[in-house]
Chains A and B, each alone.
Chain A
Amino acid sequence: MGPQRVNRLRVANETLDGHVIVVGGGPAGLSAAIELRRAGVDRVTVVERERELGGIPRHTDHLGFGIRDQHRVLSGPDYARRLRSATERAGVQARTATTVVHISGSGVELADGSTVAANAVVLATGVRERPRSARLIPGDRPAGVYTTGTVQQLTTLHGLPVGRCAVIVGAEHVSFSAIWSLRHAGCTPVAMVTSLPRHQSTPLLRHATATRHRVPLLTGVAIASIEGRGRVSAVVLTDGRRLSCDTVVFTGDWVPDHELAYRAGMAITQGARSPAVTAGFATSVPGVFAAGNLVHPAEAADMCALDGRAAARSVAAWLNHGGLGPGVWPADVRPIEVEPPITWASFDAGGLTLRVGEFCTARVQVSMNGQVLTTSRIRRLVPNRAIVVRRGVERSAEHQGVLRVRLVDLRVVDLRLVD
């Protein structure tokens, strides 16, 4: 059957023969799986290496989940539960405590060497925070050095203590989440440290945290070394200050869990270390889609869920168009080109998403094959925060050619004038 140029799904009560495997049971993966079933895909399997579906929200015990996808405000664990039951109701097969070691457009290989065939694979393996070692922080190697994810798993999933007093490295959204989790676990946050000149969260979150927890925010300074034999005793800052603590929490600085993508030989967006995708979440490997924080490290869970749904519609369309043989796969899927201070650009469910390395104001300009598609109004751009281009990038969905994002009318923000 030849490719058809009809861009619609079959009605839901008709089924699409075929099997789609979703690798990763977090917000993106589960939302993709549910949507695939809604789109009429006959067989959908989520493979999750943890014993329980739900991903990171399982252990992020504060409110703020589900706004854009569920249209309500939930806690992380509640949000994960909701996704789990929706997955079950949708008739998705779940294989938990199962590790995928290799993927291709025709299926996956599991840790025990067995293979499972599929007509398409959706990679939704998520992100983690860069650990101390990968940030090359020298010093002793004592116990008590964590990431936010570890702290939240210890406290929320296992009810275990963390330490008495902690230094938080980073000042982005998740860093504030770490403070709330530490407080909840009876651990006093000593200070929050960022090498950037200002925090990168919302003023509301920063002030709420400052008022409630009185945590000093030290800007423009990095961790020079960690001290402690046995347990952490202090961190030394690059300006020579020494902060006594028994715990250090490295927050943010996201790195995707991209091993399967790299090993499958996918085109990679270098600045993000993510698989490059089209606006429809197709990777450079035919039959393999990627969605969620794997392709944009990192955004909130509800955005990942919307990604998952959008990717699912793409998968269904592809299965529909191409029958169950190789369909029309976008030619030459490649990373979006960027110019500093943009560090990377990728797609999410709403359009283009990018990150910058410094505080600035600028217009974001997107071009395709040298032709400008859109130039935004002047915007304030904050490092470690999602910068999205929602309008004017529709044509990039075809992704036929070289996409490029740059900043024009760039001004570095004088941070003495703000907050």
Chain B
Amino acid sequence: MTVGALEQADEFVHDVAVIGAGVVGCAVARLLTIQGASVVVLECSGDVGAATSKANTAILHTGFDATPGSVEARLVARGYELLCTYAPSVGVSIEETGALLIAWDDAQLASLNGVQVKAAANGYDRTEVIDAAEVRSLEPHVGPGALGGLLVPDEHIIDPWSTPIAFATEANANGAVFVLNFAVDTVSVGAEVTTLRSADQRRVVARFVVNCAGLHGDTVHRMFGFSGFSIRPRRGELIVFDKLARPLLSRTILPVPTPTTKGVLVAPTVFGNVMLGPTADDIDDRAATGTTRAGLDDLLMKGSRILPDLLDHEVTAVYAGLRAASEHSDYQLSAHADARYVCLGGIRSTGLTASMALAEHAQSLLSGIGHDSSANEARELVAVRLTPLGDADDRPYRNGGRIVCHCERVTEGEIVDACTGPLPATNVDGLRRRTRALAGRCQGFYCFAEICSLTTWDPSA
């Protein structure tokens, strides 16, 4: 499936081919497109933002706990700034909740000052160490044994589903072409142009290529003849609790990070739920997004300590995502002039926050190897505005739309729009990420049949 005008004539040469339509690839495509480049995005799955980008903790990171001096630290901080400005302008919901690290033992309590120093080294100086009584007064439902905490007032939450869709919609509206179900199989780097072929012999030709292939980033990197990192998927399982649990907390509750893991957090979501997770398991299978009994039991055990009342509530959803981690602790970003190729690899869970900064970075790497965006003529840009999905936003049901998904109050109009837009939902998962339909507590008991009827999707397929 191709969205936009892909000139199938073999001689059509795009300025830039972006491999991967996750949040990073879509951000890159958007920036290059609005700067005037002709961009084609190749996505191996059937939708944008449908892999790693759809299953994360949806935290808008300040980068307070990043490794000072790392590329990740710099890009997360810059990305935070860019996304905080961009998101409200296109209808991507952000809720300004802040976060609270809680120390549960003396060692953790002692390390809070260190975390604060690290945050300052990352240029973030608004953290505040608080005592046990203050923890309790701010978050009265946390479990017994909290010894103190560190407030991170700007660590917010964002709608993770709409972010890549907003980037992709804006890129597409301004001329970027999205080719879905196109897994790059072979790469031929010529003197002037690079040819990318799929296994079924479709081909796309571009002068420059940006690798944003996420979980397949190392595979694509090797196709270009480079090495230096291997993707080691790290699976994170998450449990989403009922909206009735939302009053139990007012901000994200983080554990004190240890050298090995960021640990399990409890966070509100912009959709009005409470999320518990993630686990962190290094696995080999790049498609193993299943959950496990051990993982869920582990989360429930940890959740019962952090926020005991949470476990009295019904569970709405359970899922797992794969972080595209590599053996390196930092992002693997590189430019290769001879191959006219840029790689954005090894981007872990911070990729959502860093996405717009990664796009800027890709743009400057491309400039460094000869891509000249200033050569393009200036033109009128098409603005994009999504219907916000956040509970705090003004959603269509409040203006009289007929509700089809009752749990999430999604209207018929939203469902029809999501299935008919320029980057339409083509299955239940795509619809869920675009509208929240079917994401609620009944998981389709009330509306799945009607949605199949409205969309003419075959429930037996």
A129 and B445 form a contact (CB under 8 A): yes
Check A150/B445 contact, CB under 8 A, given A112-B400, A158-B452, A161-B460.
Answer: yes
- Does A153 have its Cβ within 8 Å of any Cβ on chain B? yes
Q: What distance in Å separates the Cβ of A187 from its nearest Cβ neighbour in chain B?
A: 8
Partner of B292, one of A132, A138, A153, A157: A138
Question: A-B pairs with the 10 shortest C-beta distances?
Answer: A153-B449, A131-B443, A161-B460, A138-B291, A140-B290, A154-B449, A128-B445, A158-B453, A134-B315, A149-B445
Check A158/B449 contact, CB under 8 A, given A99-B403, A111-B398, A132-B443.
Answer: yes
Instruction: Tell me the bound Cα distance from A391 to B261 in angstroms.
Output: 61
Q: Which residues of A contact B314 (CB under 8 A)?
A: 130, 134, 255, 273
Check A150/B428 contact, CB under 8 A, given A99-B397, A111-B398, A138-B296.
Answer: no
Q: Within B392-408, which residues are at the interface with A (CB < 8 Å)? A: 397-400, 402-403, 406
Instruction: Tell me the bound Cα distance from A326 to B131 in angstroms.
Output: 47
Check A133/B449 contact, CB under 8 A, given A143-B461, A162-B460.
Answer: no
- Does B379 have its Cβ within 8 Å of any Cβ on chain A? no
B445 and A157 form a contact (CB under 8 A): no
- Does A113 have its Cβ within 8 Å of any Cβ on chain B? yes
B217-239 CB mask vs A (1 if < 8 Å, else 0) is 00000000000000000000001
Q: Which residue of B lies closest to A270 (CB)?
A: B312
Q: Which residue of B lies closest to A255 (CB)?
A: B314
Check A49/B449 contact, CB under 8 A, given A111-B398, A138-B318, A229-B287.
Answer: no
- Does B382 have its Cβ within 8 Å of any Cβ on chain A? no
B448 and A153 form a contact (CB under 8 A): yes
Extra 19 A-B pairs, beta carbons < 8 Å, given A136-B296, A150-B445: A97-B402, A99-B409, A131-B441, A131-B442, A131-B445, A136-B239, A138-B290, A139-B290, A141-B289, A146-B448, A150-B444, A153-B450, A154-B452, A160-B453, A160-B458, A160-B459, A162-B460, A163-B459, A164-B460
Task: Give A residues with C-beta under 8 Å from B.
Answer: 49-51, 97, 99, 111-113, 128-134, 136, 138-141, 143-144, 146-147, 149-150, 153-154, 157-158, 160-164, 224-225, 227, 229, 231, 246-247, 255, 259, 262-263, 273
A149 and B446 form a contact (CB under 8 A): yes
Q: Within B414-461, which residues are at the interface with A (CB < 8 Å)? A: 427-428, 441-446, 448-450, 452-453, 458-461
Q: Which residue of A lies closest to B240 (CB)?
A: A133
Q: Which residues of B contact A162 (CB under 8 A)?
A: 459-460
Q: What distance in Å separates the Cβ of B355 from its nearest Cβ neighbour in chain A?
A: 25
A134 and B316 form a contact (CB under 8 A): yes
A113 and B460 form a contact (CB under 8 A): no
6 contacts between A and B (CB under 8 A): A111-B398, A131-B442, A133-B316, A143-B427, A144-B460, A229-B287
B448 and A150 form a contact (CB under 8 A): yes
Task: Give B residues with C-beta under 8 Å from A.
Answer: 239, 243-244, 287, 289-293, 295-296, 314-319, 397-400, 402-403, 406, 409, 427-428, 441-446, 448-450, 452-453, 458-461
Q: What distance in Å separates the Cβ of B435 from its nearest Cβ neighbour in chain A?
A: 16
Instruction: Tell me the bound Cα distance from A231 to B461 in angstroms.
Output: 7
Q: Which residues of B contact A153 (CB under 8 A)?
A: 448-450
Q: Which residue of B lies closest to A155 (CB)?
A: B449
Instruction: Tell me the bound Cα distance from A355 to B453 in angstroms.
Output: 37
Partner of A139, one of B291, B315, B453: B291
Q: Which residue of B lies closest to A96 (CB)?
A: B402
Q: Which residues of B contact A259 (CB under 8 A)?
A: 243-244
Q: What distance in Å separates the Cβ of A72 from its nearest Cβ neighbour in chain B?
A: 28
Partner of B445, one of A99, A141, A147, A158: A147
Q: What distance in Å separates the Cβ of A270 from its nearest Cβ neighbour in chain B?
A: 8
Instruction: Tell me the bound Cα distance from A224 to B293 in angstroms.
Output: 8
Q: Which residues of B contact A97 (CB under 8 A)?
A: 402-403
Q: Which residue of B lies closest to A229 (CB)?
A: B287
Q: What distance in Å separates the Cβ of A268 from its nearest Cβ neighbour in chain B?
A: 10
Q: Which residues of A contact B290 (CB under 8 A)?
A: 138-141, 225, 227
Among B292, B443, B461, find the residue whose CB has the most chain A CB atoms closer than 10 A.
Answer: B443
A128 and B446 form a contact (CB under 8 A): yes
Q: Which residues of B contact A112 (CB under 8 A)?
A: 397-400
Q: What distance in Å separates the Cβ of B139 from its nearest Cβ neighbour in chain A?
A: 21
Q: What distance in Å separates the Cβ of B117 from its nearest Cβ neighbour in chain A?
A: 40
A133 and B398 form a contact (CB under 8 A): no
Instruction: Tell me the bound Cα distance from A138 to B317 in angstroms.
Output: 11
Check A163/B460 contact, CB under 8 A, given A128-B442, A133-B443, A150-B449.
Answer: yes
A146 and B444 form a contact (CB under 8 A): yes
Q: Which residues of A contact B459 (CB under 8 A)?
A: 143, 154, 160-163
Check A131/B444 contact, CB under 8 A, given A138-B292, A229-B287, A231-B461.
Answer: yes
Q: Which residue of A lies closest to B453 (CB)?
A: A158
Q: Which residues of B contact A140 (CB under 8 A)?
A: 289-290
B458 and A136 form a contact (CB under 8 A): no
Instruction: Tell me the bound Cα distance from A154 to B458 in angstroms.
Output: 10
Instruction: Tell me the bound Cα distance from A131 to B316 in angstroms.
Output: 8
Q: Which residues of A contact B296 (CB under 8 A)?
A: 136, 138
Instruction: Tell me the bound Cα distance from A141 to B238 in angstroms.
Output: 13
Q: What distance in Å separates the Cβ of B272 from its nearest Cβ neighbour in chain A?
A: 11
Q: Which residues of B contact A247 (CB under 8 A)?
A: 460
Instruction: Tell me the bound Cα distance from A140 to B287 in angstroms.
Output: 10
Q: What distance in Å separates the Cβ of B146 from its nearest Cβ neighbour in chain A?
A: 26
Q: What distance in Å separates the Cβ of A222 from its nearest Cβ neighbour in chain B?
A: 11
Partner of A99, one of B244, B295, B406, B449: B406
Q: Which residue of B lies closest to A226 (CB)?
A: B290
Instruction: Tell me the bound Cα distance from A130 to B315 in angstroms.
Output: 10
Q: Which residues of A contact B289 (CB under 8 A)?
A: 140-141
Partner of B403, one of A111, A143, A144, A150: A111
A138 and B409 form a contact (CB under 8 A): no
Instruction: Tell me the bound Cα distance from A162 to B291 in angstroms.
Output: 25
Q: Which residues of A contact B244 (CB under 8 A)?
A: 259, 262-263
Instruction: Tell me the bound Cα distance from A99 to B461 in angstroms.
Output: 32
Q: What distance in Å separates the Cβ of A228 from its nearest Cβ neighbour in chain B?
A: 9
Q: Which residue of A lies closest to B400 (CB)?
A: A112
Q: Which residues of A contact B317 (CB under 8 A)?
A: 133
Q: Which residues of B contact A149 (CB under 8 A)?
A: 445-446
Instruction: Tell me the bound Cα distance from A143 to B461 in angstroms.
Output: 8
Instruction: Tell me the bound Cα distance from A153 to B443 in angstroms.
Output: 14
Instruction: Tell me the bound Cα distance from A92 to B295 in angstroms.
Output: 52
Q: Which residue of B lies closest to A186 (CB)?
A: B460
Q: What distance in Å separates the Cβ of B342 from its nearest Cβ neighbour in chain A?
A: 31
Among B289, B314, B428, find the residue whose CB has the most chain A CB atoms closer than 10 A.
Answer: B314
Q: Which residues of A contact B409 (CB under 8 A)?
A: 99, 111
Among B402, B427, B445, find the residue whose CB has the most chain A CB atoms closer than 10 A.
Answer: B445
Q: What distance in Å separates the Cβ of B413 from its nearest Cβ neighbour in chain A?
A: 13
Q: What distance in Å separates the Cβ of B106 from its nearest Cβ neighbour in chain A?
A: 34
Q: Which residues of B contact A150 (CB under 8 A)?
A: 444-445, 448-449
Q: What distance in Å separates the Cβ of B412 from its nearest Cβ neighbour in chain A?
A: 9
Q: Which residue of A lies closest to B294 (CB)?
A: A138
Instruction: Tell me the bound Cα distance from A154 to B239 in angstroms.
Output: 28
Instruction: Tell me the bound Cα distance from A164 to B292 in angstroms.
Output: 27
Instruction: Tell me the bound Cα distance from A255 to B289 in angstroms.
Output: 28
Q: Which residues of B contact A50 (CB under 8 A)?
A: 446
Q: Which residue of B lies closest to A147 (CB)?
A: B445
Q: What distance in Å separates the Cβ of B408 from its nearest Cβ neighbour in chain A?
A: 12
Instruction: Tell me the bound Cα distance from A123 to B292 in angstroms.
Output: 38
Instruction: Tell me the bound Cα distance from A132 to B397 in angstroms.
Output: 27
Check A157/B399 contact, CB under 8 A, given A138-B292, A146-B444, A224-B293.
Answer: no
Q: Which residues of A contact B443 (CB under 8 A)?
A: 131-134, 147
Among A112, A131, A132, A225, find the residue whose CB has the most chain B CB atoms closer than 10 A.
Answer: A131
Q: Which residues of A contact B444 (CB under 8 A)?
A: 131, 146-147, 150
Instruction: Tell me the bound Cα distance from A155 to B399 in angstroms.
Output: 32
Q: What distance in Å separates the Cβ of A294 from its nearest Cβ neighbour in chain B?
A: 14
Instruction: Tell me the bound Cα distance from A50 to B459 in angstroms.
Output: 21
